A and B are shown apart, each in its own frame.
Chain A
Amino acid sequence: MTRRVRLWVLAAGLLATAALYAAACTQLPGFGGSWHPYGDRAVRAALQQRTANTVSSVNFDLRAFDTLGEESVLFASVLGTVVLLRRTRDEKRVAPEPVRVPAALRRYGRLMLPVTLLIGLYVIAHGQLSPGGGFQGGVVAATSLHLLYIAVDYPALERFRPLGLYELADGAGEAAYVLLGAAGLIAGSAYLANVLPLGTFNTLSSGGTVPLLNAAVGIEVTSAVVVLLAHFLAQALEIEGEREEDRSA
């Protein structure tokens, strides 16, 4: 197929999709309407489970099994990335050249790193109360470590980031989620059922298993993002191939 023909096929497809989609939109309930049957029931159920942040309740209690699936997708794609980006036998590791960092940036990074890390951990820990949770806080905590790379240099980041430990923690987070689900079975209920005491509404220990599953996800997401960025950084800065062109030719 030539490029021209392909563009025509694409245009036809896009136009047809646009027409059908627009037609479907007219049948949707209007934007900002008050008819949310599913949402209302979810809010009622979340309050019954004494979880103040209903979004966390949906993620880690009402639809916890769905989150297990999401988490497994995350785990699998991290695993795939690690396999694809590992150093092969014909590649060598070259120490990146040191770069001078302006003093102001260095000071700023040193100041912001602990603050950002603390915010990340706070967001994870308060997932069942305020906006946040393992998914968001995990990303914040993981990126905070990389301020070391911006403010100091790459070797400093490598020293403070034992990669093996994070890879282990990634697996442990996923395993903890699966095992916490099994706790429901042991207690004589369904898999991933919320079997722990629900606690007092709007306190740190409320929500039964929600804070625990949330913490498991927090650990997994933090280490997942650290591991991912570590492999991309290593590929971009350190690993150099040796004439694959000759080999593949």
Chain B
Amino acid sequence: MNEKPTSRTRETLQILLANRLAVVGLCVLALLVVVGVIGEAVAPYGINDIDIANRLTGPSGAHWFGTDELGRDVFTRVLVAARVSLQVGFIAVGFALAVGVPVGLVAGYYRGTIDAVLMRIMDVLFSFPAILLAIAILAVLGPGIGNAMIAIGLVYTPIFARITRGSVLVVSEEVYIRAARSLGARDGRIILRHILPNVLAPIIVQTTLSLAFAILSEAALSFLGLGVQPPNPAWGRMLAEGRNFFQQAPWMGIFPGVAILVTVVAFNFVGDGLRDALDPKQKSVIESRGQSV
């Protein structure tokens, strides 16, 4: 193979790193991943260390984010909850990608009956409000973090199927696809080698945005008591618990809320940056700067 994937990736990265907001987003995400991995180890307290004497105390040197109604350290719990949020986000979106993209590729390329059947199924999923569908799925599967991932994944599948199909419809009409066929390429090869790379950009952008929404959905489900089960910490759950004490101890709700906000915004920054970086027409800008022909 003469393909040079490294050079294409490098170009994309170059453009991405020139975008300040995207860099900020990437840094925040990197930090989150680090926190997710080592959070529990570096946290100042145990997640369920109860200290009734110091319940509902405000932020201080000992408890940076204050303590909750049982005297548990909010900072520790926010830190540890990062892991589960990221896990749910990545696994749920991974699930949505793994199902939605192939569905969209097949539907958009073959059209006709296959397209109609697949996309009507997707439309059925899409027609329910996201959170309602997730709740319904969890009602069937039972609450819990694993089922929440499946539920969120299913909710986001039709978005990927639609985005992929839409792009495939456009790209498969391109002359270069006909040209590839005129040179004897098989359907599978055309789909995977010629169409998929051309529809990747919107999928990648949607992925980063969906990660943000998946994390929000997880927070919502946990808020409703359908996601992470007590006593394990999750941002959504902490928000729900903090609601009851908002007058006395606003930090209980504010800090997990800020964590959700920062994460979602970071994903959005990266998504925007990626969209610009993956536009093949933008690429020539850097190239003409870098090398003169």
* A and B found bound together: no
